[in-house]
Amino acid sequence: MLRIEFQTPVAGITSKLFELELPIKSLEIDNALPVAGDSVFLFLTVRFDTEVTPEQFAGQLTDIELVEMQPTQVNSHTYYLGLITGFCHASILSLLTKNHAIPHRIVGKHAYLEIIASVRDWNHLKTVASAIENEHGSLELMGTTQTDSIGFPLGSNKIKQSVSGKLSDEQLELLETSYRMGYFRVPQEVTAAEIASELDISRSTLSERLRRVEHNFCELLFGPQE
Amino acid sequence: MTTIILIKSVEQEQTVREVLGSVIEQDEPVYFLRLPSVRCLGPLIQEINPMIQYNVDYSIGCLTEGDNVSELVQFAVEKNANRICVGISERTLTGKARIDDLTESILLHEKISGNLIVGEHVIILEDLAYD
């Protein structure tokens, strides 16, 4: 099985959202559930440029029903959205699932979608890429790796979803970079100074931010400190 | 089994060593096919010394300026290559082998198919079939 990472221009509902008068910085499709008929429940995390009310947002939507809109706890101008729309509008999801590819992550930035998905093999990759290229206009493969397991399909990574509401984007980036570079391995594969350099921050700032992340984790696990 | 190692840079020593050391069998013919941007394979070959260190019989070829992918596929068809190996120059933030434009063009080329294996320093396309 191959895990692939690629970019493609937005289409369908993601395109509609990026065209709204309320400018969106980024969005991520967290989950999707089928609704009777040809509709789909879409759960997204959306980061706007400014504060937005549900009324403002719903007023700009056509062919999309806003079911829920909640601000996240730590990231400003970022909201969890629940929407109902036609499955045909969830273009990238329908293309991936129709072609039996497993979506893991779908993030929209600057009118492009960054997608991580699993395919069976090289031929399957070509089939999926061709289908997406036909519908979205273009596709750019970014990376690939081999894997024995399906991993977490879109929407099933509950721990990450829980944590993402408790940690800011900067904290998640710090944590992910530290993890990817091998900071938490024993023995460590990278020094704190190297991570600080990668993130363009001082070592003391890195140390402080990591402690804050650890504190937030503990709060999540054990509740607020008395 | 015939193997083509696509050389995108003379700094691909690890790629070549991985292919010669753990992908191909001894005595299998190997073609080092360099991109036109790679001027000379001499230092790389000298450093690796494929005949003495790995006991492989190798030839050197060069793609011309222009459509590298079509030329590569044509070369692979002519040599009836079973394998094409493309070096991994870097990894994405999530640890995946970064796919550059050339590798993407090979992977999505309609006339070539087979199995894709991702190694430590190399993407291996093997059991190749040509339409």
Decide if A176 is inside a domain. yes
State the total domains in chain A. Answer: 2
Q: What is the pLDDT of residues B8-29, one digit of tens each?
A: 998 899 999 999 999 998 888 9
Sign of CA dihedral B40, B42, B45, B51: positive
Shared domain check, A177 and A87: no
How far does the CA of residue A160 sit from the closest CA of chain B (Å)?
Answer: 15
Shared domain check, A6 and A48: yes
* Torsion of the alpha carbons at B39, B81, B99 and B60, rounded to the nearest 10: -10
CB B125 within 8 A of CB B131: no
CA distances from A213 to A140, A162, A166, B34 (A): 34, 14, 9, 48
The DSSP string of chain B is: --EEEEES-TT-HHHHHHHHHHTSPTT-EEEEEE-TT----HHHHHHH-HHHHH--EEEEEEPPSS-HHHHHHHHHHHTT-SEEEEE---B-TTSPEEP-HHHHHHHT-TTEEEEEEE-SSEEEEEEEEE-
Q: Which of A125, A126, A143 sits opposite B96 (nearest CB)?
A: A143
Are the Cβ atoms of A122 and B107 closer than 8 angstroms?
yes
Shared domain check, A172 and A92: no
Decide if A12 is inside a domain. yes
Decide if A209 is inside a domain. yes
Q: What is the pLDDT of residues A50-61, one digit of tens each?
A: 999 999 999 988
How would you label B5-33 residue by residue, b for 16+ Cβ within 10 Å and e otherwise? bbbbebebeebbbbbbeebbeeebebbbb
CA distances from A159 to A145, A175, A185, B27, B94 (A): 23, 14, 21, 51, 18
pLDDT band with cut points at 50, 70 and 90 for residue A160: low
Chain B hits for A140, CB-CB cut-off 8 Å, are 104
Tell me whether A5 touches chain B (CB under 8 Å).
Answer: yes
Shared domain check, A184 and A123: no
How far does the CA of residue B52 sit from the closest CA of chain A (Å)?
Answer: 32
Shared domain check, A138 and A30: yes
Shared domain check, A113 and A69: yes
Shared domain check, A190 and A85: no
CATH number at residue A175: 1.10.10
Decide if A134 is inside a domain. yes
Tell me whether A126 touches chain B (CB under 8 Å).
Answer: yes
Are the Cβ atoms of B99 and A145 closer than 8 angstroms?
no
Q: Which of B108, B112, B121 to mutate to test the interface with A (most CBs of A within 10 A)?
A: B108
Shared domain check, A93 and A6: yes
Using a cut of 0.90, tell me whether the model's pTM lies above it.
Answer: no
Decide if A152 is inside a domain. no
Decide if A151 is inside a domain. no
pLDDT band with cut points at 50, 70 and 90 for residue B66: confident
User: CA nearest B100 in A: which residue?
Assistant: A142
Q: What is the pLDDT of residues A102-136, one digit of tens each?
A: 999 999 998 899 999 999 999 999 999 999 999 99
The 10 Å Cβ neighbour count of residue B60 is 14
Shared domain check, A210 and A141: no
- The fraction of chain B above a pLDDT of 70, given in percent, is 100
DSSP A88: G
d(C-alpha B122, C-alpha B69), whole Å: 18
Tell me whether A145 touches chain B (CB under 8 Å).
Answer: yes
ipTM here = 0.85
Decide if A126 is inside a domain. yes
Q: Which of B91, B94, B115 sits opposite A122 (nearest CB)?
A: B115
User: CA nearest B90 in A: which residue?
Assistant: A143
Are the Cβ atoms of A125 and B97 closer than 8 angstroms?
no
Q: Which of A126, A146, A176 sits opposite B108 (nearest CB)?
A: A126
Shared domain check, A177 and A129: no
Q: Which of A125, A130, A143 sits opposite B97 (nearest CB)?
A: A143
CA distances from B1 to A165, A169, B22, B120, B125 (A): 53, 49, 14, 21, 13
Length of chain B: 131
Are the Cβ atoms of B96 and A126 closer than 8 angstroms?
no
Domain range spanning residue A194?
167-222
Decide if A161 is inside a domain. no
Shared domain check, A217 and A122: no
pLDDT band with cut points at 50, 70 and 90 for residue A163: low
Q: What is the pLDDT of residues A23-41, one digit of tens each?
A: 899 999 988 888 888 899 9
Using a CB–CB cut-off of 8 Å, the residues of B that contact A are 91-99, 103-104, 107-108, 110, 113-118, 123, 125
Are the Cβ atoms of A116 and B94 closer than 8 angstroms?
yes
pLDDT at A100 over 80: yes
pLDDT reported for residue A159: 58
Residue of A75 and B89 predicted with greater confidence:
B89
Amino acid at A155: G
d(C-alpha A173, C-alpha A179), whole Å: 10
CB A17 within 8 A of CB A46: yes
Shared domain check, A97 and A50: yes
Domain boundary (A84, A115, A146) is at: A146
pLDDT reported for residue A127: 96
**Domains in chain B: ranges and CATH:** 3-130 (3.40.50)
